[in-house]
Amino acid sequence: MKSRPYYVSFWLDEQEHDHLLQLCADTGLTASALLRHLIAGTEVRPKPPQEYAALLRELSAIGRNVNQIARWANTQEAISEEELSRVLDLVGQAWRLVKDTL
């Protein structure tokens, strides 16, 4: 664990305090962590929406399905129109998930 031997305290007016609290809420960081990031010059971004985790799980599942179909097609050296249609549906589903989330 990193040791932080220095304590810094300072005063904020109401507007500055509200802004700090809003930044903490947007980034998901504590006030001290946020200030350390800002002092270090690190870019502070808003935390991603909770839907992103679900989107990543769905995209991962779709990717696995597409990969299984591609592996099967390589071993058979052919793919039927039905199977190709399934792959295109999965890719379309992935695009819709991305669009709906953004």
* pLDDT single digits (tens) 14-50: 999 999 999 999 999 999 999 999 999 998 988 887 7
HSE on the CB side for 100, CA within 13 Å?
Answer: 12
Domain boundaries, the chain: 6-47, 51-101
The CA–CA distances, whole Å, from 80 to 68, 69, 75, 77 equal 14, 11, 13, 10
Among the listed ranges 3-12, 42-51, 90-99, which one has the minimum average pLDDT value?
A: 90-99
